Amino acid sequence: MDNNPAATFKQYPIGLGYTHWLSFIASLHGNRWQAHAQQHGDAPFSQWLNQHAQASHGLWLHIPQVLGFALGILSMAGALTYSGTKPVNIWLMLGVFCALPLITMVFTVKQVLASPQNLEHSWWAKYFNHSMIKHFGLTSPLPHSPTMVPWLLWRLQLAAASFHIAAMLTFGLILLFNDVAFGWSSTLITDPATIHSFFNVISLPWQDLIPSPSLALLEQTQFFYRQGANPSTSSEYWWPHLLFALFFYGLAPRLALCAWLKHRAQRAFRLELSHSLHIQRFLHACHQTSSHNAKSAATLAANLHASAPVSSCTTVSSTTTDEPPITNAAAAFTLPNNAHVLVWQRTLNIAHIDSKTLGTQSWQHDEQWLSQQDFNITALKAPAVSAPIIIVVHAEQTPTAELSDLLTLINAAPQLLLLSSASNASQLKSWQYFAHEHHLALHVASSIVSQPTPPEPQL
């Protein structure tokens, strides 16, 4: 199990396991990670994490909970500030510690279920990405991770749960060491009978333990600031109801939301590990053999054809020198006249060929551009008659999750063109695996030429 990266990450709790996962992905951004992976070979994967992955200390995971706990103490202490003459208004307690948290929880659930993609562009997700860039010393953002949003939401809800726990503890301690009077006052509602039914409804969860507030209690504890606001002797009967309200409408639903988001984060993490190209790239680099144990050209060609359809313009030379096996793309790829060329994170400067570079600007820019293109709209309405879409990549590039996400925005099945003049077997196999996973036709060529334009008929 220790040699299995996915199993290694799964053995950690989701909070710590995902941070190790991010550090592993960051370790694949170095210039010499492939050479280090070849040296690593079949050694335990935990050894790679210890030597090459900049693992984050587990204490930083609890910083949001600590901040939430401190905010809960300060908020409750401020809400229970009692001068001895003016009672603490229960509407303030119910609004800050019950109603407002319930509204935020409902909004969170709505966002998760209705538009989870929008959460990836929220300010807290961008701040987390920026923090990871600084933490790992990267020059570019980490690849898109489908686990990030549910994991971050779960951690934020844990901080909110810490807020409620601290508020309830502070509430109990202040009542234990201080005499606090409670009452209610409203500018718009002055008749106690009007809100009596409201308190009967919200006290349903604990009516089996203590009776709901009576009309007499509401009448006795009503106060008006303009009349001196003297506390009533019956105000002490309010604190059990407030404590139960803090639990049933604050802490309990927050813990339920935490459990639900944790389950979603664990499921997303398992799926990401099962379909991760990062693990495949790492394992391919670890198992890459030296030239003395290189595969024959026939075996390599058979493997390439077995996993993804590769165009016939690719030839493989068999060498027995000390250099790694070299794949020579002996033919150029002839581009159809009506093809749409998309270049991934590179610029294609070829005469008479119009192309669009994607992956160098923001995700929103690429998504908006693709949604406005006629070829993408036509492919959605009539895929059978749509023009071919060619995605051009270079051999020195590696498949990324961002490119996988880009493919989901294209309404027709594109073709993948790998420009390679001297690519080793591991690079070809990475792209071959990528094409196989996404059901793409893979072409390997040394260059691109445009198809000759047929001459106009003479009249």
- Band the pLDDT of 272: cuts 50, 70, 90: confident
| pLDDT: which is higher, 218 or 250 | 250
The answer on 267 and 297 residing in a single domain is no
- Decide if 459 is inside a domain: no
| pLDDT: which is higher, 278 or 296 | 278
- Decide if 52 is inside a domain: no
- Decide if 311 is inside a domain: yes
Q: Give the model confidence (pLDDT) of 311-342 as tens digits.
A: 445 433 333 333 333 334 447 888 887 788 89
- Decide if 395 is inside a domain: yes
Q: How many domains does the chain have?
A: 2
The answer on 378 and 261 residing in a single domain is no
Tell me the mean pLDDT in the region 29-47: 78
| pLDDT: which is higher, 115 or 73 | 73
Q: Give the model confidence (pLDDT) of 128-152 as tens digits.
A: 877 877 777 766 667 777 888 889 9
**Contact residues for 244 (Cβ-Cβ < 8 A; gap 6+):** 203, 205, 206, 209, 210
pLDDT for 85 beyond 80: no
- Decide if 197 is inside a domain: yes
Q: Which of 4, 36, 6, 37 is nearest to 20 (CA)?
A: 6
C-alpha distance from residue 49 to each of 23, 40, 45 (Å): 8, 11, 7
pLDDT for 425 beyond 60: no
The answer on 262 and 401 residing in a single domain is no
- Mean pLDDT (the chain) is 77
| pLDDT: which is higher, 182 or 46 | 182
pTM of the model: 0.64
Tell me how far apart the alpha carbons of residues 16 and 82 are, in angstroms, rounded to a whole number. 43
- Decide if 224 is inside a domain: yes
Domain boundary (206, 236, 271) is at: 271
Give the bridge partners for 182, in sequence order.
Answer: 88
Tell me the mean pLDDT in the region 183-199: 85
By residue range, what is the domain housing residue 441? 292-450
Tell me how far apart the alpha carbons of residues 252 and 164 are, in angstroms, rounded to a whole number. 9
**Contact residues for 155 (Cβ-Cβ < 8 A; gap 6+):** 15, 61, 64
The answer on 133 and 100 residing in a single domain is yes
- Band the pLDDT of 456: cuts 50, 70, 90: low
The tokens of 311 are what? 């165009």
Note the pLDDT of residue 162: 96
The answer on 322 and 412 residing in a single domain is yes
- Band the pLDDT of 380: cuts 50, 70, 90: low
Q: Give the model confidence (pLDDT) of 148-180 as tens digits.
A: 888 999 999 999 999 999 999 999 999 998 888
Q: Which of 398, 411, 420, 410 is nearest to 311 (CA)?
A: 420
Tell me how far apart the alpha carbons of residues 224 and 235 are, in angstroms, rounded to a whole number. 14
- Decide if 34 is inside a domain: no
Note the pLDDT of residue 71: 96
Question: Helices in 137-208 by DSSP H: which ranges?
Answer: 148-177, 192-202
- Decide if 165 is inside a domain: yes
CB-CB contact of 162 with 65 (8 Å): yes
Note the pLDDT of residue 288: 63
Note the pLDDT of residue 15: 87
Report helix, strand or coil for 251: helix
Tell me how far apart the alpha carbons of residues 54 and 29 are, in angstroms, rounded to a whole number. 12
The Cβ of residue 140 has, within 10 Å, a number of other Cβ atoms equal to: 7
CB-CB contact of 63 with 158 (8 Å): no
Note the pLDDT of residue 54: 64
The answer on 406 and 375 residing in a single domain is yes
Note the pLDDT of residue 154: 94
Tell me how far apart the alpha carbons of residues 423 and 425 are, in angstroms, rounded to a whole number. 7
| pLDDT: which is higher, 414 or 157 | 157
- Band the pLDDT of 346: cuts 50, 70, 90: confident
Tell me how far apart the alpha carbons of residues 167 and 251 are, in angstroms, rounded to a whole number. 10
The answer on 204 and 102 residing in a single domain is yes
CB-CB contact of 55 with 23 (8 Å): yes
Domain boundary (271, 300, 319) is at: 271
The answer on 318 and 247 residing in a single domain is no
Tell me the mean pLDDT in the region 192-217: 89
Note the pLDDT of residue 101: 94
Q: Where do the DSSP E strands lie in 345-400?
A: 355-358, 389-394
Domain boundary (215, 239, 271) is at: 271
The answer on 392 and 352 residing in a single domain is yes
C-alpha distance from residue 452 to each of 290, 334, 335 (Å): 43, 9, 9
- Band the pLDDT of 248: cuts 50, 70, 90: very high
- The letter for the amino acid at 173 is L
Note the pLDDT of residue 27: 81
Ramachandran class of 81: left when φ > 0, alpha when ψ lies in -120 to 50, beta otherwise: beta
